[in-house]
Amino acid sequence: MKTSNFKNKNTTNNIFPEALPLMVDKKLKEYIKGYKNVPEKLVKPLKYCLLSGGKRFRPVLSLATAISLGYNPEFVLPAACAIEFIHSYSLIHDDLPAIDNDDIRRGKPSCHKKFGEDIAILTGDALFAESFNIFLKYQKGTPDAKFQALSEIASASGVSGMVAGQIVDIGSTDSKISKRMLEYIHINKTARLISASVVSSAILCGAKRHTVKQFKKYGLYIGLAFQITDDIIDIKSSSLISGKTRGKDQVQSKNTYPSIWGLDKSKIIAKENIDKAVRAIDKAKTNSGLLKNIAKYVLLRKA
Amino acid sequence: MKTSNFKNKNTTNNIFPEALPLMVDKKLKEYIKGYKNVPEKLVKPLKYCLLSGGKRFRPVLSLATAISLGYNPEFVLPAACAIEFIHSYSLIHDDLPAIDNDDIRRGKPSCHKKFGEDIAILTGDALFAESFNIFLKYQKGTPDAKFQALSEIASASGVSGMVAGQIVDIGSTDSKISKRMLEYIHINKTARLISASVVSSAILCGAKRHTVKQFKKYGLYIGLAFQITDDIIDIKSSSLISGKTRGKDQVQSKNTYPSIWGLDKSKIIAKENIDKAVRAIDKAKTNSGLLKNIAKYVLLRKA
């Protein structure tokens, strides 16, 4: 499926490649449509949460990685969607009353507000299970590449990734933590899965070890910048723009980059990480215009 | 790793092969010990839930399947442990206040009672992620067999398995359901993962399609019988023996085999399913003494 002269007509003029989230949305809908013998009680919240919009940042990164390596993005679409399933599950569980207790997500009632806590817990569980099912059922590639890619995704989600970051995060609410600990939280809670979106795609597209290493760095840097800008958006944006409850971090005494470094310094750190991401991707020596644009978009986004 | 004359000295005289859960326990401890850079806040509840005893019914089935096919059970130990991780995660989430609201599990405070709801939700999530990590990291076998085996496990956990059963179960509490719906709940909530323990192991051990089919039947029949006997135990056993809150199903107006079929008929249906399981495993024409003993154990167990 390698198409070295692949061109995505909508990707060159815009800083965020708008054609790619549409591809993701279409495929996600297809997957959900395939749930023929699944109880309606489960399909409904799955649809509600998974198809509620969003920039599809993680899967877009997977697709952009494939494009930068001369592949048709369709090739990594199952893996990309699998990661969006994981992201969606993590949002549902994070929003639960026992964790972040957030009533709004993407401008709508969060899953537990709409369907109840029991359904929200189980919908998250279902999305997590289905992420693996989708990858195992639909992702093509050499067996070695598929195992490695899936390992990257699973590892980024577990005790050395997302859950670890989240558990340290909720444990440090209401207490002052070190800058190093804050970085640990942001890297694990957010950057690991963002990086896995890039790395799993690079592996599936047969990138060499050196290239994968640079992609990994790129992913971690933009992942960290993404969470820092998330912290900034939480303070600055109205909930109408961000789709979330404004100032929630401050109310909950969460440790964030602005709360520990101040707002201006946080912007500088975000910018530094984006610069590092761009340098890393330059070293990968691939067709990286799209990935650079996405890196720049992280600094400019409003939601 | 095929050892056609493998003998497990403790398995022939006892109806439940006591040596096998010990193997599982040892390996689970090893995996947890390997979590070097994992936050203590996560390792503690992981240990608490995963190493809190239990018969290790599902992984024992995996190992017994390997033995019946002439394999050393060590060979499928990673897959077997991965399934115990999933089982453990499902118990933690089921016990949550929003779902079954159970304060006792295996005779001790359930995860959320001991560590709080937030930690319990995330510990469940971590166990689920780690089940895939363990399989991907440690399970040997041909790539094809590994993919198929992992697909069986993932599928049994998701929207066409465990979560589907659970969501229909909680949705039908307080209302009378049909016998067919009750069977759907029990098969998906419980029997699918039990069957996946057998099937994934058979696939990893290179069993032919016909054999796998019989193993699948065996797994589903004993799985259904297992959930029926669980319903019966909920009524009959004291919480000291079962390690759970006695009569919880009735208090919660859950639909169970005894509530719909009556106690005596439920026992007969459990026995019929065990008989069907034994007939299926006979057709597989493997060394099935151990699997037959486990089937019989399902009817005799008290907890």
Task: Name the band, by pLDDT with cuts 50, 70 and 90, for residue B239.
Answer: low
Q: Are B94 and B69 in contact (CB under 8 A)?
A: no
Please answer yes or no on whether B154 and A168 come within 8 Å at the CB atom.
no
Answer yes or no: do B122 and A167 touch at CB < 8 A: yes
Q: Decide if A51 contacts A28 (C-beta within 8 A).
A: yes
- Closest residue of B to A144, CA-based? B143
With beta carbons less than 8 A apart as the criterion, state whether A298 and A225 touch.
yes
Residue B4 is predicted with a pLDDT of: 39
**Chain B partners of A124 at a C-beta cutoff of 8 Å?**
125
Q: Does the beta-carbon distance from B39 to A170 stay under 8 Å? A: no
In angstroms, the separation between the Cα of residue B13 and the nearest Cα of chain A is 39
Among B38, B98, B147, beta carbon nearest to A164: B38
How high is the pLDDT of residue A249? 73
Residue B26 lies in a domain: yes
Determine whether the interchain pair A136/B119 forms a contact, defined as Cβ–Cβ distance below 8 Å. Answer: no
**Per-residue H/E/C for chain A:** CECCCCCCCCCCCCCCCCHHHHHHHHHHHHHHHCCCCCCHHHHHHHHHHHCCCCCCHHHHHHHHHHHHCCECHHHHHHHHHHHHHHHHHHHHHHHCCCCCCCCEECCEECHHHHHCHHHHHHHHHHHHHHHHHHHHHHCCCCHHHHHHHHHHHHHHHCCCCHHHHHHHHHHHCCCCCCHHHHHHHHHHHHHHHHHHHHHHHHHHCCCCHHHHHHHHHHHHHHHHHHHHHHHHHHHHCCHHHHCCCCCHHHHCCCCCHHHHHCHHHHHHHHHHHHHHHHHHHHHCCCCCHHHHHHHHHHHHCCC
CB-closest option in B99, B129, B168 to A41? B168
Examine residue A1 and state whether it is found in any structural domain, yes or no.
Answer: no
Top residue of B38, B47, B99, B167 to mutate, by most chain A CBs within 10 Å, is B167
Compute how many other C-beta atoms are within 10 angstroms of the C-beta atom of residue A255: 22
| B13 assigned to some structural domain | no
What is the predicted pLDDT for the residue at A119? 98
Which residues of chain A are within 8 Å of residue B163 when distances are taken between CB atoms?
42, 122, 125-126, 129
Is A116 in Cβ contact with B122 (below 8 Å)? no
H helix count then E strand count, chain B: 16, 2
Both structure tokens of A303: 């939601």
Mutate to test the interface with A, among B163, B172, B180, B200 (most CBs of A within 10 A): B163
Contact criterion met (CB < 8 Å) for A167 and B39: yes
Q: How confident is the model at residue B301 (pLDDT cuts 50, 70, 90)?
A: confident
> What distance in Å separates residue A36's CA from the closest CA in chain B?
10
Nearest by CB to B38, from A41, A43, A160: name it.
Answer: A160
Q: Tokens 């390992």 label which residue?
A: A151
d(CA A113, CA A104) in angstroms, rounded, equals: 8
B170 vs A118, A126, A170: nearest CB: A118
Q: Which residues of A touch B164 (CB under 8 A)?
A: 38-39, 42, 126
Residue B113 scores a pLDDT above 60: yes
Q: How much is the pLDDT for B242?
A: 59
CB within 8 Å: B151 and A137:
yes
Q: What is the pTM of this model?
A: 0.93
Whole-Å CA distances, B271 to A244, A280, B61, B261, B264:
54, 64, 19, 14, 11
d(CA A277, CA A61): 13
Contact of A201 with A65, CB cutoff 8 Å:
yes
Number of compact structural domains in chain A: 1
Query: What's the pLDDT at A243?
Result: 64
How confident is the model at residue A22, as a pLDDT? 95
Kindly tell me if the per-residue pLDDT of B230 is higher than 50.
Answer: yes
Q: Is residue A79 part of a domain?
A: yes
A34: exposed, middle or buried (Cβ count in 10 Å: 0-12, 13-18, 19+): exposed
Helix axes B209-236, B192-204, angle to 10 degrees: 150
What's the gap in Å between the CA of A159 and the closest CA on chain B? Answer: 6
Instruction: Examine residue A196 and state whether it is found in any structural domain, yes or no.
Output: yes
Mutate to test the interface with A, among B121, B138, B140, B184 (most CBs of A within 10 A): B121
Residue type, B107: G
User: How is residue A155 written in tokens?
Assistant: 């590892």
Out of B122, B133, B154, the one facing A166 most closely (by C-beta) is B122
Whether residue A41 and residue B119 make contact (CB cut-off 8 A), yes or no, is: no
More confident residue, B36 or A82: A82
The C-alpha atoms of residue B109 and residue B115 are separated, in whole angstroms, by 9
- Can you tell me the mean pLDDT for B45-54? 94
A120: left (phi over 0), alpha (psi -120 to 50) or beta: alpha
Q: Report the chain A residue with the minimal C-alpha distance to residue B145.
A: A143
Whether A175 is in a domain gets the answer yes
CB contact under 8 A, A129 and B96: no
Instruction: Give the nearest chain A residue to B139 (CA atoms).
Output: A147
One-letter amino acid for residue A63 of the chain: L
pLDDT at residue B285, rounded to an integer: 87
The two tokens of residue A213 are 């290493």
Instruction: Identify which of B41, B130, B167 has the shortest CB distance to residue A122.
Output: B167
Q: Are A163 and B98 within 8 A, CB to CB?
A: no
For residue B158, pLDDT over 70 is answered with yes
CB pairs under 8 A between A and B: 142
Contact A129 B35 (CB under 8 A): no
The ipTM of this complex is: 0.93
Phi-psi region of B106 (alpha: psi -120 to 50; beta: other; left: phi over 0): left
Report residues of chain A scoring pLDDT below 70.
1-14, 237-247, 251
User: In whole angstroms, what is the distance from residue B189 CA to residue B122 CA?
Assistant: 21
- What pLDDT is recorded for position A242? 58
Domain extent, residue A246, equals 19-300
Which chain B residues contact residue A146 at CB under 8 A? 147
| Residue A88 within any structural domain of the chain | yes
Place of tokens 């699973």: A154
Evaluate whether A128 touches A89 at the Cβ level (below 8 Å).
yes
pLDDT at B138 over 70: yes
Q: B51 to chain A nearest CA, in Å?
A: 17
Residue A14 maps to a domain: no
Cβ atoms < 10 Å from Cβ of A214: 22
State how far the Cα of A281 lies from the Cα of A288, in Å rounded to an integer.
Answer: 7
Round to the nearest angstrom and report the end-to-end CA distance of chain A: 34
List the one residue out of B245, B248, B235 whose CA is nearest residue B173.
Answer: B248
**Cβ contact, residue pair B155, A133, below 8 Å:** yes
Give the H/E segment covering residue B158: none
CATH code of the domain in which B276 resides: 1.10.600.10
**Closest partner residue to B159 among A126, A137, A147, by Cβ?**
A126
How many residues in chain A?
A: 303
Contacts of A160 in chain B (CB under 8 A): 37-38
B209-222 average pLDDT score = 97
